[in-house]
Amino acid sequence: MTQSRSPVHAQPRAPIAVVRPFGRNPDRYLHRHATIGFLLVVMFSMFAPSLAVAEVKVSPILLADVVSQRADQLAPIDSDEKSLHLFTTEVGPALGFKDAVGALGAKKLPSKMVKDLGLAELSQSVHELMAALATWQFADSIRHGAEPSSPALVLSPARQEWLRGHDRTASLSDLLRFAQENQALRTSQTPANQQNTELLLAAERTVFEASQRATAAWWDIYGWKERIRQAKGRARLCGTWQWTIHNHQHHEDQKNTLVFPPEGQVPANTPIPSEMIILGDSIYLRWEHNGHIQEDSLLFMKDNTKIEGSFANSMGGWGAISGKRLAACKP
């Protein structure tokens, strides 16, 4: 984010503040309580979904249960369509992903809503999760004693292609190769024990790697709603703003021009907030520069054309911020 001067520099001459009794500075007392109240609201909004999630026991630990309890349903998957259907009907509900299931299962959504909800990204995460679970299930069946002639080792060309398409790790390739060799070399001179040992070692490695990939995909799906929420908030903030900052410590005003670029388009050598949380109309910005910290607590006003709020920094500065939009977001 570019600006004429970083907000944390609003008071370069000010020393580190010494906390005073509240009775000696009622304005500051009220400001601090207002800021604390705002941050508590933000924190509650952030953690409330997590508390609700905890009640239904949503956890990546459940992935192992899905693999063991739904092995027969995972075994036939050989396409994205089948994996998405199984996720929306069985696996997603079992993992507690009610919102993701509802979004992916909705019919005839407008293209703008599909884009706004990030359903393409969500679908990709689901395919990665289901492929990892299917790979995990395949390797697990071998690890738990499937015989060389077992159907567990006989994969259709379509299933092999689908698994390879989503998982190009060496462990899966080795596992498929050893499984085929166990079928083709049963009558060869190679000792059976050596064949089985290679196969079981490859199965162990594949189970481990597939569980890691499934866990990573689980977190992607779990964080989907928060990513969409933050993307919407950042899109509202994107653009050029003029902020007027009044510092109550020195009773002076300072004007800054701030440019918030589109997501993922931050110019080089440009100061940006180290943390940005936008929930509804509430904005929290944290700036860090040369060991100094500033926190801005703000609100969108008048159809996103104005911003009002307050700031406090580690140099003892605190006061009001009033901003107005100068230009719209430029991709």
Q: What is the pLDDT of residue 146?
A: 58
**2-49+238-327 carries CATH number 2.40.128:** yes
Q: What is the pLDDT of residue 14?
A: 34
* Residue 116 structure tokens: 């706004």
Q: What is the pLDDT of residue 263?
A: 79
Provide the sign of the torsion angle of the four alpha carbons 272, 274, 279, 281, taken in this order. Answer: negative
Q: Where along the chain do its domains lie?
A: 2-49+238-327, 62-222
* Residue 26 structure tokens: 């009622």
Provide the sign of the torsion angle of the four alpha carbons 80, 86, 87, 91, taken in this order. Answer: negative
Q: What is the pLDDT of residue 199?
A: 85
Nearest to 307 by CA among 243, 239, 257: 243
Task: Give the position of tokens 């992935």.
Answer: 63
DSSP 91: I
Nearest to 282 by CA among 237, 241, 314, 244: 237
Write the single-letter amino acid at 79: S
Q: What is the pLDDT of residue 10?
A: 47
Interatomic CA distance for residues 178 and 172, integer angstroms: 10
Interatomic CA distance for residues 283 and 307, integer angstroms: 9
Statement: the pTM of the whole predicted model exceeds 0.85: no
Distant-in-sequence contacts of 74-77, Cβ < 8 A, 24+ apart? 74/130, 74/133, 74/134, 74/137, 75/134, 75/137, 75/138, 75/141, 75/152, 76/159, 77/130, 77/134, 77/159, 77/162
Q: Running along the chain, 331 residues long, what does each successive block of 10 average in pLDDT?
A: 48 34 40 40 41 60 94 92 95 94 91 90 95 93 69 76 81 85 61 71 92 95 92 88 87 85 75 86 91 92 90 89 90 72
* Residue 210 structure tokens: 């597939």
Q: What is the pLDDT of residue 78?
A: 92
* Residue 104 structure tokens: 């992916």
Q: What is the pLDDT of residue 150?
A: 58
